[in-house]
Amino acid sequence: MRRSLSFAESRVMRTCSRVTAYVTFALLATGCASNLFLPDPPPREDWAHHSLRPGQAEEESEDNFGAARTAIFGFLDAMAEEDYATAYSMLSNDTRIVMDQVASNGLGETVLSEAAIHYEGEIYPINVVDFFVVDGLQRIEDEYDGAEESETARRKELFAIAADGTVHRVVVIREGSEWHIHRPDFSLAPGEPGRRGLDS
Question: 61, 68 in Cβ contact below 8 A?
Answer: no
The predicted pLDDT at position 43 comes to 61
58-116 residue pLDDT tens: 666 788 999 999 999 999 999 999 999 999 999 999 999 999 999 999 999 999 999 99
Amino acid letter for position 124:
Y
Q: 116-119 and 137-141: which strand pairing?
A: unpaired
Q: 39 versus 170: which is more confidently predicted?
A: 170
Query: At 66, which helix (H) or strand (E)?
Result: helix 56-80
**Residue closest to 157 by CA, chosen among 107, 198, 104, 114:** 198
Percent of the chain topping pLDDT 70: 63
Question: 88, 99 in Cβ contact below 8 A?
Answer: yes
The predicted pLDDT at position 199 comes to 46
Q: What is the DSSP string of 9-50?
A: HHHHHHHHHHHHHHHHHHHHHHHHHTT--PPPPPPGGGS---
DSSP 4: P
Question: 180, 88 in Cβ contact below 8 A?
Answer: no
- Look at domain 54-181 and name its CATH class: alpha beta
167-195 residue pLDDT tens: 999 999 999 999 999 999 876 544 333 44
Q: 121 versus 41: which is more confidently predicted?
A: 121
DSSP 135: T
Classify the C-alpha dihedral 138-142-147-153 as positive or negative: positive
Q: Could you give the strand order of the β-sheet that contains 167-175, starting from the edge strand earlier in sequence?
A: 137-141, 155-162, 167-175, 178-181
- Max CA-CA distance within the chain? 109
Alpha helices in 81-163 (DSSP H): 84-89, 93-101, 109-114, 128-132
Q: Domain limits of the chain?
A: 54-181
Strand-pairing partners, residue 180, are: 173
Q: 171 versus 5: which is more confidently predicted?
A: 171
The predicted pLDDT at position 18 comes to 52
